[in-house]
Structure 1
Amino acid sequence: MPSNVEIKARVHDIEQLMQNAKELSQSEGSLILQEDIFFNVQHGRLKLRNFMNGSGQLIFYDRPDVSGPKLSNYSISPTEDPDGLTKLLSDALGVRGVVKKQRYLFMIEQTRLHVDTVEGLGHFMELEVVLNDEQTPDEGDSIAHTLMEKLQVKKEDLVTGAYIDILLANK
């Protein structure tokens, strides 16, 4: 199962973060509209990511709910029928909640940087350091900390859990 080291943080100055992201990635980033439908499961998280263009991904992931860098194991399966799959999984498992977001994706070497505007929550950033087979979680952690510093992300802005957890906690 692939793994990565992730961090998530609140963003107070979206313009500054975008500028830093563009400089580090040497790109304008890619805009992605996403709707994530989370389903009820015994452990981990299962979501159907709808790209709002007729395509999507079924994603299972498991990671601890702690602030700062954390190891995440995941599996992804693409789909060309996200609406049909959403209906099937909703009937079988029930829906835990829905997260709608506008995401800018920037690639910085082996790291995916997401700059997200989440409906009902505000602005966030996520770093996903995709680990090579030879790399340890500690190496991913070091890469994440270095990028946090370069992006001017403060430790006090780190958040735990997934967007769905934050949305449900705010209800």
Structure 2
Amino acid sequence: MKAAVLLDNGFEELEAMGPTALLKRAGVDVDLVSVKDGPVVGRFGIAYQPTLPFSSYDFDQADCLILPGGPQHETLRRNEAVLKLLHRFAEDDQKVLAAICASPTILGQEGLLKGKRYTCFTALNQDFGGTYVDAYAVTDGNLITGRSAAASIEFAWAIMEKLCGKEHCDQVKASVYYKPVVQ
């Protein structure tokens, strides 16, 4: 399995690196893909490299596209190539589309949450035509959404279970001594 984490300056570090680290523990090949050339700088000033350039990345090889939140969601929302890619993943039943915190709002504004169960950063929720769920992570078919930085681990587990199966996900949880959060 392969996942691509889409990054631009201002991404929320925990929402990108938490799922990346846990997915790598599960044996998922994870690529950090930068919308701009060169290293990207997260919300709190941490630069990440190496990243692969969006312009030459082969998204056909990725089974999952992950969008961390943070201030980057504004620049992603204005990028036509990114929006086209989101639609491509949403329309392909062999691909998983995962977005956390502010990034599910991009999906909502693109009409990709219509008829879906989802979550997002609560203060940014609007009428996206779906059903907002008050939970850390929500899976609806091949769509996975997460609420906030606090939900990064639950979001990662949801992605892992979808890509690797429940049994493998449970093994990784046990290997890091995970205890479920009671909501």
TM-score, normalized by the shorter chain, greater than 0.5: no
TM-score interval, normalised by the smaller of the two chains: under 0.3
**Larger proportion of strand:** 1
TM-score (norm 1): 0.27
Greater relative CO (CA pairs within 8 A, separation 6+):
1
Q: Which has the higher helix share?
A: 2
Taking structure 2 as the reference length, the TM-score comes to: 0.25
- Return the index of the structure with the highest Cα Rg: 1
